Amino acid sequence: MNDDRLLDIKNLQIWYRTYRGYAKVVNGVNLYVGRGEKIGLVGESGCGKTTTMKSIMRLLEKEIVHIPDGGEILFEGKNILNLPEREMQDIRRRKISMISQSPMAALNPVFKIGEQMVDIIKYSGLLESNNKEDMIEIARNAIKTVMIPDPDRILNSYPYQLSGGMRQRICIAMSLMTPRDLLIADEPGTALDVTIQDQIYRLLNELVKDKGCSLIMVTHSLGVARELVDRIYVMYAGDIVETCKTKNLFDNPLHPYTQGLLDCIPRLTGRGLSEGIYGYIPDYHVPTPGCRFYPRCKEAMEVCKNEKPPVIEMENEHYVACFKYVTENFT
């Protein structure tokens, strides 16, 4: 194992069982996160980002999910896919936490915030004694770190009594209240308006830096990823199509899908709305044997239709999966 890699996903495939057969969503993903590193997973809606992240937490419903043999999710060198449930619970309690897109769905509506926070502290095993006052003090401090005034009122509130932005801050506080090695933030700004989104991203960035944990930021937006992460993975329809250091992606985007995504970032140059990327994510029940972006790609060639593109290192640690570069480099 590479010791710098806290998480190392290798050739992961995930299929959903549906009434139409298998939806073959995640298509052999390779992705790693170093200790203390911040990475971004970027791609449009439906490309499999949440599915991949839930598999790390082992939160996918067993009854409807099939993970073909050959894939691995190594966390500190152990394959999460094979761990006994007890060890997995320990990882969820102490090592990895996840902030979901919807804070309302993440919080239990029938318990006060204080009760939910105390529960997390209790089960994390952070304190030797189960002294409730000590736990409340930790919760109070966690609320202060996410910059919500009057923590005692918050502790005594039910989730419905808080605004969307406050609820998402509480979820962040909960996920970083006890020490963690890895935080997965799955589009934490989605349910919020843009000014609050911005505050949430800044806050997350500062907290992750403070605590020194690794971060996977899942987002639709390359703009958000640019501000927050060291490296970016671009995902399209269950495939990682390009990955490199953040700066390289903006200086030298290689995959036609990445170029299309970059083109979708609004600019203040008065050129109006971009054309976007023509077409839709494919039907995962009938996946093409070739490049999944082929039907939407302006530069597609005959070979793209039937063969999966190889992953090519174009510059230092800048990888792209596209036949365009095979032809350029090898003919």
Ligand X SMILES: Nc1ncnc2c1ncn2[C@@H]1O[C@H](COP(=O)(O)OP(=O)(O)OP(=O)(O)O)[C@@H](O)[C@H]1O
Q: Is 49 in the site for ligand X (CB under 6 A)?
A: yes
Single out the residue of 77, 121, 61, 67 nearest to residue 97, CA to CA: 121
Q: Is 9 in the site for ligand X (CB under 6 A)?
A: no
Closer residue to ligand X, CB minimum distance, 124 or 219: 219
Residues 259-288 binding ligand X (CB under 6 A) are: 284
Q: Is 48 in the site for ligand X (CB under 6 A)?
A: yes
- Binding segment toward ligand X, per CB under 6 A, in 48-56, 131-139, 144-152, 221-229: 48-56
Query: Exposed (0-12), middle (13-18) or buried (19+): which is 193, by Cβ within 10 Å?
Result: exposed
Closer residue to ligand X, CB minimum distance, 66 or 209: 66
Residue 169 near residue 192, CB atoms below 8 Å = no
Q: Is 18 in the site for ligand X (CB under 6 A)?
A: yes
Q: Is 45 in the site for ligand X (CB under 6 A)?
A: yes
- Binding segment toward ligand X, per CB under 6 A, in 45-53, 79-87, 246-254, 299-307: 45-53
Q: Tally the C-alpha atoms within 13 A of residue 91's C-alpha that lie toward its C-beta.
A: 24
Closer residue to ligand X, CB minimum distance, 16 or 294: 16
Q: Is 113 in the site for ligand X (CB under 6 A)?
A: no
Angle at 296 between CA 293 and CA 298, to 5 degrees: 105
Q: Is 236 in the site for ligand X (CB under 6 A)?
A: no
Residue 52 near residue 227, CB atoms below 8 Å = no
Buried b (16+ CB within 10 A) or exposed e, 103-114: beebbeeeebbb
- Binding segment toward ligand X, per CB under 6 A, in 17-25, 124-132, 175-183, 225-233: 17-25
Q: Is 64 in the site for ligand X (CB under 6 A)?
A: yes
Helix (H, G, I), strand (E, B) or coil at 95: coil
Q: Is 32 in the site for ligand X (CB under 6 A)?
A: no
Q: Is 168 in the site for ligand X (CB under 6 A)?
A: no
Label residue 258 left, alpha or beta by phi (over 0 means left) and psi (-120 to 50 means alpha). Answer: alpha
The CA distance from 3 to 299, in Å, is: 39
Closer residue to ligand X, CB minimum distance, 71 or 114: 71
Closer residue to ligand X, CB minimum distance, 18 or 327: 18
* Tokens linked to 324: 């365009």
Applying CB under 6 A, among 28, 34, 36, 46 the residue interacting with ligand X is 46
Q: Could you tell me the smallest distance in angstroms from the CB atom of residue 235 to ligand X? A: 7
The CA distance from 192 to 102, in Å, is: 9
Q: Where does this chain bind ligand X (CB under 6 A)?
A: 16, 18, 23, 25, 43, 45-51, 64, 220, 284
